[in-house]
Amino acid sequence: MIGLVQAAEACWTGTFGNYSTTANFENPAGQAVLVTVNDGCGISNTSGVGGNSVTLYVSEYMGNDGSIIPYNSSTLNQTFSHEIGHVLGATDQYVGAGTTSQPNNIMGSVGASATPQGSTIQQILIYNGATP
């Protein structure tokens, strides 16, 4: 599990648009998040935007077309980072009815180069009551 947390911290740390961020998801003063890891196939999810629980499926995931796709370490790390985005206050940013991904956007795609966008950081700040 530590590897997933470190991968999520790396994903959410950097300069995204006008925002420079440093993620620390192991801060004992932060919000506790329950992560349930299931060895099987399913759709990983969070208990809602700003939620405090993540359900992560680690063997296989279900594609948008219903196909079963085996996870590799990169897609598992990206999926966990995406779900952490929901915990932080970001919504899904898929195009259309959730079937078209946005390349390079962690909240709209799962891929090796997917990172938060400046608009995502702004959304998180607003959700948490900060002025961007």
- How large is the angle between the packed helices 73-88 and 2-11, nearest 10 degrees? 70
Instruction: Assess contact for 31 and 52: CB atoms under 8 A.
Output: yes
Let me know if residue 46 belongs to a domain. Answer: yes
**pLDDT tens profile 62-103:** 776 777 878 888 888 999 999 999 999 999 987 765 556 677
The verdict on residue 84 lying in a domain is yes
Q: If residue 80 lies in a helix (H) or strand (E), which one and from where to where? A: helix 73-88
Distances (CA, A) of 6 to 3, 22, 71, 130: 5, 12, 18, 25
Q: Quick check: is 132 in a domain?
A: no
Q: How many domains does the chain have?
A: 1
101 is a domain residue: yes
- pTM assigned to the model: 0.88
CATH of the domain at 110: 3.40.390
Please name which of 118, 126, 115, 55 lies closest in space to residue 88, comparing C-alpha atoms.
Answer: 126
pLDDT > 70: percent of the chain: 89
Residue 122 counted as domain residue: yes
